[in-house]
Amino acid sequence: MKKNERALDWLEKEPLGDIEKIEILTVRLPFIAPFGTSVATWSCKEALLVRLEDKGVTAWGECVADPDPYYASETTVSARFIIKDFLLPELKPDLSLAGLLGRWSRVRGNEMAKAALENALLDLLAKRRGVPLHALLGFAAKRVMSGISIGLQESIPALLDKVEEAVRSGYHRVKMKIGRDHDVEWVKAVRERFPAIALMADANGDYSLADAGLLARLDEFGLTMIEQPLSYHDIYQHSLLQARLRTPLCLDESIHSVDDAAAAIALKSCRVINIKQGRVGGLLAAVKMAGLCAASGIPVWSGGMDETGIGRALNIQLQAAPGFTLPGDTSETRRYFHEDIVEPPVLLDGDGFIAMPMGPGIGVDIVEKMVEKYLLGREKIK
């Protein structure tokens, strides 16, 4: 504890300094195949990027918000507005990162906007020191477990093909999206064909408590967990559902803060939490949440938002923190994109693990030529 406190001295003490150049960019990368969920089907990744430049160092952050409010209420447009009008104006050269976050606490919600800018600043601080993000945060490098999130498919045979491919690739666990009319029969088919794999299902809030009987039918398939079966903003009703199921529940959409996680744990609303750094306000909040969960006996995993290589690298760096004991939604770049804006791409090794990128900051190189290729817009703030 002492050692880590000393390692994090910069958080409180080091002034962020003047940052020469600040830009907000929007990129749109086509997906190899559309990604279907119970709330939306996305055919591309449109992401807001924050680019900072100072004394020859370039740092990047990626906002996980989508252009639409179907997964979360924040969007690329709302995040841009909050970053420009409320977060960046608080950035002063003599403030430390902790000081800046203190000022941002006045801005309610908008965790995705905050995360995008905080992560760009962390990338800058790490690159100024020439160390990878996990080292800046005081964590040792480790290879991380892999997991894949398979979207809703046209038919059960199509789903079985996707699962087969994932198993052959060596993924440590398979998550399948479920929703009304895509549940019991679909899970049953996958389980019958693959009796031994670590399998879980994500409903993205498609059910209500009235469906408890239907959801209980999933108990016989030995899922490692069911993710967010009930409403995107519910914590209490999940506690009633969890009491009726053998299968552990995992919360995603309804956890935005360390206090939300504490409430879910106290209410026994879930036995696992999906931590998306972008959904909880950034890397520092994600690390804190993982610590609370570990102390409460709740395993966590790192979720994903189909990010470009920037967000993907950040999610891998995060998993060096204690508490990330389960495989997350960390899959290979080539599942989503023909080409990416970073190098090298995420790849599984022979045991299905993913290496921690060891370059400075997020650890991978941003290829500005690729950013240009997929650019929708570029706004110079400074």
Residues with active-site annotation: 177, 276
Stretch that binds ligand OSB, among 53-61, 74-82, 304-312, 316-324 (CB under 6 A): 304-312
- Residue 306 binds Mg ion, judged by CB under 5 A: no
Least distance CB 205 / Mg ion (angstroms)? 9
What Rg do the C-alpha atoms of the chain give, in angstroms?
20
Burial class, 107, CB count within 10 angstroms (exposed 0-12 / middle 13-18 / buried 19+) = middle
**Mapping DSSP to helix (H, G, I), strand (E, B) and coil, where does residue 285 land?**
helix
Least distance CB 330 / ligand OSB (angstroms)? 8
Of the two residues 22 and 356, which places its CB atom closer to ligand OSB in the complex? Answer: 356
- Residue 204 binds ligand OSB, judged by CB under 6 A: yes
Q: Please check whether residue 60 is in contact with residue 317, taking contact to mean a CB–CB distance below 8 angstroms.
A: no
Query: Which listed option, Mg ion, ligand OSB, none, makes contact with residue 260 (CB within 5 to 8 Å by class)?
Result: none
- Residue 305 binds ligand OSB, judged by CB under 6 A: yes
Q: Is the dihedral of CA 377, 87, 97, 282 positive or negative?
A: negative
Of the two residues 125 and 176, which places its CB atom closer to Mg ion in the complex? Answer: 176
Q: Please check whether residue 244 is in contact with residue 212, taking contact to mean a CB–CB distance below 8 angstroms.
A: yes
Q: Please check whether residue 118 is in contact with residue 97, taking contact to mean a CB–CB distance below 8 angstroms.
A: yes
Q: Is the dihedral of CA 10, 321, 178, 164 positive or negative?
A: positive
- Residue 319 binds ligand OSB, judged by CB under 6 A: no
Of the two residues 158 and 295, which places its CB atom closer to ligand OSB in the complex? Answer: 158
The set of residues, in sequence order, having a beta carbon less than 8 Å from that of 171 and lying 6+ positions away, is 146, 147, 148, 327, 331, 348, 352
CA–CA separation, 372 vs 68, rounded Å?
23
Nearest to Mg ion by Cβ — which residue?
252
For residue 155, give Cα distances in angstroms to 24, 44, 158, 161, 265: 40, 22, 5, 10, 37
Of the two residues 201 and 356, which places its CB atom closer to Mg ion in the complex? Answer: 201
Stretch that binds ligand OSB, among 24-32, 208-216, 241-249, 302-310 (CB under 6 A): 302-310
- Residue 71 binds ligand OSB, judged by CB under 6 A: yes
Stretch that binds ligand OSB, among 55-63, 238-246, 298-306, 347-355 (CB under 6 A): 298-306
Query: Which listed option, ligand OSB, Mg ion, none, makes contact with residue 71 (CB within 5 to 8 Å by class)?
Result: ligand OSB
Least distance CB 42 / ligand OSB (angstroms)? 7
CA–CA separation, 197 vs 176, rounded Å?
12
CA–CA separation, 302 vs 92, rounded Å?
31
- Residue 252 binds ligand OSB, judged by CB under 6 A: yes
Nearest to ligand OSB by Cβ — which residue?
304
Residue 65 Cα to chain centre, angstroms: 11
CA–CA separation, 167 vs 162, rounded Å?
9
Of the two residues 71 and 139, which places its CB atom closer to ligand OSB in the complex? Answer: 71
CA–CA separation, 227 vs 252, rounded Å?
7
Of the two residues 87 and 150, which places its CB atom closer to Mg ion in the complex? Answer: 150
Q: Name the nearest CA neighbour of 273 among 197, 311, 326.
A: 326
Among 74, 118, 252, 260, binds Mg ion (CB under 5 A): 252
- Residue 202 binds Mg ion, judged by CB under 5 A: yes
- Residue 234 binds ligand OSB, judged by CB under 6 A: no
- Residue 304 binds ligand OSB, judged by CB under 6 A: yes
- Residue 306 binds ligand OSB, judged by CB under 6 A: yes
Interacting residue ranges for ligand OSB, rule: CB under 6 A? 71, 149, 202, 204, 252, 303-306, 329, 331
Interacting residue ranges for Mg ion, rule: CB under 5 A? 202, 227, 252
